[in-house]
Amino acid sequence: MKQQQKLLAGVYLDTQKAIIIRPAPDYEKGDYIIQDTFEADIHARTGDQDSKNHARQTDLLKYFKSVAALLLVYDELYIFGPANIQEQFQNHLKADAQFNNKQITIDSSEQLSDHKMVNKVRDFFEVKNLPA
Protein backbone atom coordinates (compact mmCIF):
# COMPACT_ATOMS: atom_id res chain seq x y z
CA MET A 1 0.00 0.00 0.00
CA LYS A 2 1.38 3.39 -1.00
CA GLN A 3 2.07 5.77 1.86
CA GLN A 4 0.10 9.01 1.60
CA GLN A 5 2.39 11.95 0.98
CA LYS A 6 2.33 14.85 3.43
CA LEU A 7 0.78 18.07 2.22
CA LEU A 8 3.43 20.80 2.47
CA ALA A 9 3.06 24.58 2.40
CA GLY A 10 5.29 27.56 2.87
CA VAL A 11 3.79 30.80 4.10
CA TYR A 12 5.35 34.21 3.69
CA LEU A 13 3.70 36.40 6.32
CA ASP A 14 4.00 40.09 7.08
CA THR A 15 1.53 42.63 8.44
CA GLN A 16 0.17 43.36 4.95
CA LYS A 17 -0.26 39.96 3.33
CA ALA A 18 0.17 36.20 3.54
CA ILE A 19 1.37 34.22 0.54
CA ILE A 20 0.83 30.45 0.57
CA ILE A 21 3.24 28.40 -1.54
CA ARG A 22 2.88 24.67 -2.13
CA PRO A 23 4.17 21.94 -4.45
CA ALA A 24 2.68 22.11 -7.94
CA PRO A 25 0.17 19.39 -8.90
CA ASP A 26 2.88 17.77 -11.05
CA TYR A 27 5.31 17.76 -8.11
CA GLU A 28 7.52 15.10 -9.71
CA LYS A 29 9.16 18.03 -11.50
CA GLY A 30 9.95 19.67 -8.15
CA ASP A 31 8.01 22.83 -8.92
CA TYR A 32 6.29 24.96 -6.31
CA ILE A 33 3.55 27.49 -6.97
CA ILE A 34 1.81 30.34 -5.19
CA GLN A 35 -1.50 28.84 -4.09
CA ASP A 36 -3.12 31.85 -2.40
CA THR A 37 -2.44 35.45 -1.48
CA PHE A 38 -4.40 36.89 1.41
CA GLU A 39 -4.40 40.64 2.06
CA ALA A 40 -4.53 41.80 5.68
CA ASP A 41 -7.34 44.13 6.71
CA ILE A 42 -5.45 46.08 9.36
CA HIS A 43 -6.44 49.74 9.53
CA ALA A 44 -4.79 52.84 10.92
CA ARG A 45 -6.79 53.98 13.93
CA THR A 46 -7.44 57.23 15.72
CA GLY A 47 -7.90 57.69 19.44
CA ASP A 48 -5.70 57.18 22.45
CA GLN A 49 -2.81 54.72 22.41
CA ASP A 50 -4.68 51.98 24.31
CA SER A 51 -7.60 52.12 21.86
CA LYS A 52 -5.23 51.97 18.88
CA ASN A 53 -3.36 49.00 20.34
CA HIS A 54 -6.55 47.11 21.14
CA ALA A 55 -7.96 47.71 17.65
CA ARG A 56 -4.69 46.64 16.03
CA GLN A 57 -4.61 43.42 18.10
CA THR A 58 -8.22 42.70 17.11
CA ASP A 59 -7.40 43.23 13.42
CA LEU A 60 -4.29 41.05 13.74
CA LEU A 61 -6.29 38.24 15.37
CA LYS A 62 -8.85 38.33 12.53
CA TYR A 63 -6.00 38.24 10.01
CA PHE A 64 -4.36 35.26 11.75
CA LYS A 65 -7.68 33.37 11.91
CA SER A 66 -8.30 33.92 8.19
CA VAL A 67 -4.82 32.74 7.21
CA ALA A 68 -5.02 29.76 9.58
CA ALA A 69 -8.27 28.66 7.93
CA LEU A 70 -6.43 28.44 4.60
CA LEU A 71 -3.74 26.23 6.16
CA LEU A 72 -5.90 23.54 7.77
CA VAL A 73 -5.42 21.10 4.88
CA TYR A 74 -1.62 21.07 5.17
CA ASP A 75 0.40 18.67 7.33
CA GLU A 76 3.65 20.60 7.44
CA LEU A 77 4.13 24.38 7.40
CA TYR A 78 7.18 26.54 6.84
CA ILE A 79 6.34 30.09 7.95
CA PHE A 80 8.71 32.96 7.25
CA GLY A 81 8.63 36.73 7.20
CA PRO A 82 10.09 39.93 8.63
CA ALA A 83 10.34 40.99 12.28
CA ASN A 84 8.53 38.67 14.69
CA ILE A 85 5.16 38.31 12.93
CA GLN A 86 5.86 34.65 12.16
CA GLU A 87 6.46 33.98 15.89
CA GLN A 88 3.15 35.64 16.78
CA PHE A 89 1.39 33.57 14.11
CA GLN A 90 3.05 30.36 15.32
CA ASN A 91 1.79 31.10 18.85
CA HIS A 92 -1.69 31.63 17.43
CA LEU A 93 -1.53 28.25 15.66
CA LYS A 94 -0.21 26.48 18.77
CA ALA A 95 -3.26 27.72 20.68
CA ASP A 96 -5.56 26.11 18.06
CA ALA A 97 -6.11 22.37 18.63
CA GLN A 98 -6.60 21.87 14.87
CA PHE A 99 -2.87 22.49 14.43
CA ASN A 100 -1.67 20.14 17.21
CA ASN A 101 -0.53 17.39 14.83
CA LYS A 102 1.01 19.66 12.23
CA GLN A 103 4.72 20.26 11.98
CA ILE A 104 5.45 24.00 11.99
CA THR A 105 8.83 25.60 11.35
CA ILE A 106 9.41 29.36 11.42
CA ASP A 107 12.18 31.48 9.97
CA SER A 108 12.87 35.18 9.61
CA SER A 109 13.23 36.74 6.19
CA GLU A 110 13.31 40.14 4.59
CA GLN A 111 10.74 40.96 1.94
CA LEU A 112 11.35 38.84 -1.14
CA SER A 113 10.11 38.73 -4.71
CA ASP A 114 7.54 36.03 -5.49
CA HIS A 115 10.20 34.03 -7.34
CA LYS A 116 12.59 34.14 -4.35
CA MET A 117 9.78 33.14 -1.96
CA VAL A 118 8.95 30.11 -4.07
CA ASN A 119 12.64 29.16 -4.21
CA LYS A 120 13.00 29.57 -0.44
CA VAL A 121 10.08 27.21 0.22
CA ARG A 122 11.27 24.65 -2.34
CA ASP A 123 14.81 24.74 -0.91
CA PHE A 124 13.52 24.35 2.66
CA PHE A 125 11.48 21.23 1.90
CA GLU A 126 14.08 19.70 -0.43
CA VAL A 127 16.91 20.06 2.11
CA LYS A 128 14.66 18.89 4.94
CA ASN A 129 13.70 15.73 3.09
CA LEU A 130 17.17 14.68 1.94
CA PRO A 131 18.13 11.17 3.07
CA ALA A 132 20.31 11.15 6.19
Q: Report if residue 118 sits inside a domain.
A: yes
Smallest Cα–Cα separation from 30: which of 128, 119, 104? 119
pTM for this structure?
0.87
| Number of domains the chain is built from | 1
* pLDDT, averaged in runs of 10, over the chain (132 residues): 73 95 79 93 73 84 96 97 94 97 96 94 83 52
Q: Which residues face 59 on adjacent strands? A: none
Q: Report if residue 1 sits inside a domain.
A: no
- Domain carrying residue 53: 8-128
Q: Report if residue 77 sits inside a domain.
A: yes
Q: Is-contact 54 45, C-beta < 8 A?
A: no
Q: Report if residue 41 sits inside a domain.
A: yes
Indicate which CATH number applies to the domain containing 48: 3.30.420.60
Q: Report if residue 3 sits inside a domain.
A: no
Going by C-beta distance under 8 Å and a sequence separation of 6 or more, which residues neighbour residue 12?
18, 19, 21, 80, 81, 109, 112, 117
CA 132 to chain centre: 27
